[in-house]
Amino acid sequence: MFIIDAHLDLSMNALEWNRDLTLPVHALRAREQGLSDKPDRTRGTVSLPELRRGGIGLVVATQIGRFVAPDNPLPGWHSSWQAWAQTQGQLAWYKAMEEAGEMVMITDLASLENHLERWLGEAGEPAGNKPIGYILSLEGADSIVHPDYLQRAYAYGLRALGPAHYGPGRYANGTDSTGHLREAGRTLLREMDRLGIILDATHLCDDAFWDAMELFHGPVWASHNNCRALVDHNRQFSDDMIRALIAKGAVIGGALDAWMMVPGWVRGVSDPAAMHCNLEKVIDHMDHICEIAGNTLHVGMGTDLDGGYGREQSPYDLDTIADLQKMTGLLEKRGYSQTDIANILHGNWLRFLRGAWKD
């Protein structure tokens, strides 16, 4: 089945982890033997050939560049200009992949439908020849030097933006922090609304989340988020937050970062098998959202695989991202119909995008 993954940090892996994502995952793991600079060395799960092998023909792919103030212990840049420069380097990598025929940018309804025809039409093009479609998203807005820069970003293809990431940000506070939208953040959301940029509610702290729900009138999704009722952490959505997103027509992407899937995870210590963390655990989170919604129209995949972690912090029954195809059988086992499964694996994201881009 055709699958859409709404959150992959491809350029980060290519440039910061120095992974040639045109190679199979097992070749990347072999190249990293003996390296220890990153905790997930030799355990990566994502590459472009693996996306093709898994039928994952469309992804939301990120740029990311964090600004950190002198009192912020998180890793990041010391100015928004440096953060902007990092995202421009990431954009250059995506453009290089386009030139190589590996990827194609999706920016509007016409390019979306053309890409779907190439992947799903009757032309019969071999899977190995099909480029991975990508919708460009910015995770955390710190690199937007001034809200006026959004116009530039939209012009080069940015179509979704999450105002916050971890900690305090220039526009909004994110995971593990608190506080309302900054005035610049309110200006940012109004400019996003004007341009038609999708608001990604992922990572917004509770105060900023509720501010955004009140202020923003455009399309909203949550690319990679799970449920606080199952794993009690501020990174997750409360039931009230889920209800607010459903009311706005949002789709919420199930994340496969183990600490978000099962309670009690200790980073760098816990083991997926010992914690019984498998792909079925993300379905638990989907079940919860579907029960709140009363239907299957608000959940999808947003794996965040290789988002700074690898197999050591992923479901134990997933070797590479191609194993997302296992979701079909697992959802069938839970009693989901074929229509439900198609909705979850691609249909809900497509409906959302067609609605957001219909004008």
Taking 80 as the threshold, does the pLDDT of residue 256 lie above it? Answer: yes
Give tens-digit pLDDT for 310-325: 999 999 999 999 999 9
Strand duo 252-254 + 56-63: pairing: unpaired
Residue 188 has pLDDT above 90, yes or no: yes
Number of structural domains the chain divides into: 1
For residue 308, give Cα distances in angstroms to 102, 134, 190, 289.
23, 20, 31, 26
- We report the CATH number of the domain holding residue 193 as 3.20.20.140
Alpha-carbon gap, residue 128 to 101, rounded angstroms: 11
pLDDT at 40: 97
Helix (H, G, I), strand (E, B) or coil at 4: strand
- Token code pair at residue 152: 């530039």
In Å, how far from its chain's centre is CA 351? 17
Instruction: Give the pLDDT of residue 121.
Output: 87
Tokens of 282: 């993300």
- Beta-bridge partners for 175: 166
Residues in a beta bridge with 221: 200
Q: How confident is the model at residue 106 (pLDDT cuts 50, 70, 90)?
A: very high
Is the pLDDT reported for residue 124 higher than 70?
no
What pLDDT, on the 0 to 100 scale, is given for residue 335? 97
pLDDT average, residue stretch 204-211: 98
In angstroms, what CA-CA distances link 171 with 145, 163, 194, 325? Answer: 10, 6, 17, 37
| Residues paired with residue 253 on neighbouring β-strands, in sequence order | 300
Average the pLDDT over 295-302 and give the result: 98
Task: Please state, in angstroms and as integers, the Cα–Cα distance from residue 112 to each residue in 93, 312, 345, 350, following that order.
Answer: 21, 34, 16, 9
DSSP string, 131-150: PEEEEEEEESSTT-SSTTHH
- The whole-angstrom separation of Cα 198 and Cα 58 is 17
Cβ–Cβ under 8 Å, residues 305 and 47: no
Average pLDDT, the chain: 97
Whether 172 has a pLDDT exceeding 80, the answer reads yes
* Element containing residue 28 per DSSP (H, E): helix 25-31
What is the mean predicted confidence (pLDDT) over 50-71? 97
Q: Residue 47 carries which DSSP code?
A: -
Cβ atoms of 102 and 128 closer than 8 Å: no
Report the pLDDT value the prediction gives residue 166, as an integer from 0 to 100. 97
pLDDT mean over 43-60: 98
Contacts of 313 (CB under 8 A, 6+ apart): 40, 257, 258, 259, 267, 272
Q: Say if CB 188 and CB 143 are below 8 A apart.
A: no
Q: What is the mean pLDDT of residues 40-44?
A: 98
Could you give the CA distance from residue 51 to residue 245 in angstroms, rounded to a whole number? 28
The model carries a pTM of 0.97
Two tokens, residue 20:
């040639």
DSSP secondary structure string for all residues of 286-355 = HHHHHHHHTSSTTEEE---TTSS--GGGS-TT-SSGGGGGHHHHHHHHTT--HHHHHIIIIIHHHHHHHH
**Tens digit of each residue's pLDDT (9 = 90 or more) over 272-289:** 999 999 999 999 999 999
What pLDDT does 123 receive? 66
Residue 128 pLDDT greater than 90, yes or no:
no
- Does the pLDDT of residue 129 top 90, yes or no? no
Rounded (to 5) percent helix, strand, coil in the chain: 40, 15, 45
pLDDT of the residue at 274: 98
pLDDT over 90 at 112, yes or no: yes
pLDDT of 84: 98
The pLDDT value recorded for residue 213 is 98
H/E stretch holding 15 reads helix 10-15
What is the span of the domain harbouring residue 137? 3-356
